[in-house]
Structure 1
Amino acid sequence: MNDRGKPVSRGWADEAVARIEADQRRSADTHLWKLDVRALSGIDLYLKDESTHPTGSLKHRLARSLFLYALCNGHIREGAPVIEASSGSTAVSEAYFARMIGVPFYAVMPRTTSPEKIAAIEHYGGACHFIDDGRRIYAESAELAARLGGHFMDQFTFAERATDWRGNNNIAESIFGQMRDERHPIPAWIVMSPGTGGTTATIGRYIRYKRHRTRLSVADAERSAFFDGYATKDPARRCEQPSRIEGIGRPRVEPSFVPGVIDHMVRIPDAVSLAAMRVLSKRLGRRVGGSTGTNFAGMCLAASRMIAAGQVGSIVTLICDSGERYANSYYSDDWLAQAGLDPSPHIPAIEAFLAGRPLDLPVRESWGDEPADLKKAR
């Protein structure tokens, strides 16, 4: 029986799981790039490139895990639709897997969603269900699933439990495996921005399970409830303004966000994220997205902290997706002006840091338990 009390065909579900598992076996792991920054002597920077997944983003891993979790729990049945509350990369990836197993897919999203994201979802056979009030995205998704007799995937609740955090080639296990032969194989820091909170939960749990000395720093967007929820230890904190950095930042502290596995959080202003995005894109010779800029700003901050404390080691973060999806937003001067964002004052500060000078960025930080060595260095 599925979550609506209707029978699920074991034969069909077994075939659906087999198709998803076969797709994973056909996919090579994503590359781990070492960023050459000679001025940061003793600090090695690495970027795990999640943009090379078939659907072009980190959310491919999440969507695969969510579908396997829902299938193995009997929530998805043959012919019944899957519904998700997402206007971004998760919806694109879930549309891909829905088409793979032959079920309809609906993405519930604000009417203001970019044409590029709508086209990407529709490319994989998904349908877009538009709403005018973004605050109703969760309720509307549940109501649509009830009307259609389908399953509301609910990434924001199930992200942290759908992934096997002990291993099974999750992103954390992949990072540590790829780092094995590097100069500093156990990262001093892993930096990750939160969307659902599921990836930070997986990484933080894996670090503790393997007893690594790695610390997890979570870099949040400007308009997001996660940072305030962490800093105040109040899971009821909310943010009424929608995030301008697609894929990360939420109006509420999502159920998949697990603050107990996080060592440090930093709130990155959106203009700083977009400045870091441009600096990194220039160094890589290709465009990255805004959430990758948030990650890179957080990485620079972690490196700055280590330098001040006289430490050496490695830092890992993610390239979440390609910047080609944002040609008409983050890389558009007209869009930036309309959004009231100006990354230009922060670009020289980030470039100066990468050239060996102190880092000066207007960020806010909060510690779970600040280590004594870093406290002394401040």
Structure 2
Amino acid sequence: MPDWITTPVTADLLRGALDVERTELGVLPHRLPARARAQNTDEQLAMAESQPAGVRLVFRTRATVVKLESLPTKRTYVGAPPRPHGLYDLVVDGRPAGQGSVLDGNVITVDMTAGTSELRPGPPGTVRFDGLSGEVKDVEIWLPHNETTELIALRTDAPVEPAPPADRRVWLHHGSSISHGSDAASPSRTWPAVAATLGGVELINLGLAGSALLDPFTARAVRDTPADVISLKIGINIVNHDLMRLRAFGPAVHGFLDTVREGHPDAPLLVVSPILCPIHEETPGPCFPDFSEIGEGRFRFRTMGDPAERATGKLTLQVIREELARIVKQRAAEDPHLHYLDGRELYGEPDAADLPLPDDLHPDAATHRLMGERFAGAVFGADGVFGGEGD
């Protein structure tokens, strides 16, 4: 048996988190700062920002065995088959090198029909990676994008030190559950993670499931976070929450952009409209899950809006895209670093036949890969708005 070296998890080992909360057992990475969390009252956002999408442990070591002890909080749904355990992706010197899960942890059981939930506390567990080379190497452990993850300690058979700062640009991206990684194969294979790898940038993923709602505290978090290039994917949550009308949407977008520009006056800034979502292209929200097939492990989302309500200012994805394009065009006259991308260039009508949205709202794992590749090519490529070292 090796003599294990225990290394507490500290902020200098983490990338992609905006805040690190000390807990009784260790640390809890957050993707919104404490000030933003203090202003939030929504349980959905609290859950989403505590799930470490895009957050990874990064360190340098000669260790041949790496163990990470953590306390995950998982979710299960009444009437549905058990959900798979969250995955930890191991990347060594930039190459995928393994996966694992922590089987223990807390479990929240959600009854979506009754609107209730119950927490069952559980013990910490350990994910183990072995068979690594004894050479000095840079190791990344991408944390599960869909489980709140309290980190306790690293245990290795050789010393660990923080990896040197990456010599590449930082890309900060904000979006909805699609950006968060809903239905992606694993944390390093969400579409933003794929795009970041192909684009050669450091990712900060502020994709917040169900919560890309133009909240001022989120705008301030983007404003205050150091980044070289920034993208904002806006629209789908505004529609499926039926959150606001056209009269409020335009000023809210302007306000969000104004706040971001306070901290990043010249950074390349890309506004991305929603990908194709047929149920909301011409029909406003609200949108609710349909539980009629949940016993078979399937459920879909259904919109409750009426297309005729567009005349009264209710928002559809078509309206959202038109308004975002108009706003960016207007502002770009004085802001040459502001750009627009129609989300249907990432997933559009030609894709829907071959890669339909399984629940009518979220893309599957293959579509995440496709979107990441397309974003990298269109945005980080030589002719893209984030291409090269400048804008």
Question: TM-score w.r.t. structure 1 length?
Answer: 0.30
Question: Greater helix percent: which structure?
Answer: 1
Question: Greater strand percent: which structure?
Answer: 2
Question: TM-score w.r.t. structure 2 length?
Answer: 0.29
